Amino acid sequence: MFKGSIVALITPFKDGKVDEAGLRKLVNWHVKEGTHGIVPCGTTGESPTLSHDEHKRVTEVVVEQVAKRVPVIAGCGSNNTAEAIDLTRHARKVGADATLHVAGYYNKPTQEGLYQHFKAINDAVDIPIVVYNIPPRAVVDIQVETMARIAALEHVVGVKDATADLTRPSKERLAIKGKAWIQLSGEDGTALAYMAHGGHGCISVTANVAPRLCAEFQQACLAGDFRKALDYQDRLMPLHVNLFAETSPAPVKFAAGVLGLCGDEVRLPLVKPGPATQAKVKDALRHAGLIN
């Protein structure tokens, strides 16, 4: 159900508020361009600076606008387990297809604490759960043995892996027995190798501005045509790199603004990228053939 190019959707703002019309426009554009799934309210959606009401409203708008055309995996992650459960209950209520949950950032839980966090969410709400493992932001790493324990939980269906450790998909596949396990890359630059190791797709930042190219890249990978996928990789790699030249999602929102998709406004403590990064992003857009 969850495979291919799944966009980690930016949240457009206008004058400090969520731009709902712009959000609906983005959703329709992604479906038209071939994006295989949408993740609202992730880190790329600036979830840390969305109020709880805004977070829930963004999820509602995306689910409503998608109208079951592609799967919606609602970002519901929190380092507060009770808050994560509340967001998950809301996502289920409004019709999301699954939820995405990051490990406990900042409070640095032990491996047992990580397991108990996901178990509590699993036990509280009947909805598919995708585990998000991103040590650079969360500071903690969900180790393979712990991931296997979490995978045994009834509603946990897969992982978004942003470790950039390309042995992980193979190790986890071997460790997780008795159920189908969806493996999604969370790191655009290494997604090609991740797919070659048996991955099913990528939750992508670059797909915000190059959805058709990312979808075609994923289709080539899923078909086993890695020669074709490599051509897409070379076309997209400067974007994969330069959309992180400063803290994401500032560069990708700038790129979206260049393409006229939405405004480039971000919320403090993030700021718009500086001139050097802007130039790099424009060069990457040209390399991908998205602007002249």
The Cα–Cα gap between 236 and 72 comes to 24
What residues does 127 pair with on adjacent strands? none
Burial class (CB in 10 A: 0-12, 13-18, 19+), 54: middle
132 classed as catalytic: yes
Closest CA to 46 of 278, 272, 267: 267
> 3, 56, 160, 280: which is the annotated catalytic residue?
160
Distance of CA 11 to the CA centre of its chain: 13
168 touches 132 (CB < 8 A): no
What residues does 184 pair with on adjacent strands? 160, 201
**Cis before residue 251, ω within 30 degrees of 0?**
no
What residues does 16 pair with on adjacent strands? none
> 105, 132, 194, 232: which is the annotated catalytic residue?
132
The Cα–Cα gap between 56 and 240 comes to 29
237 touches 40 (CB < 8 A): no
Tell me which residues are annotated as active site: 132, 160
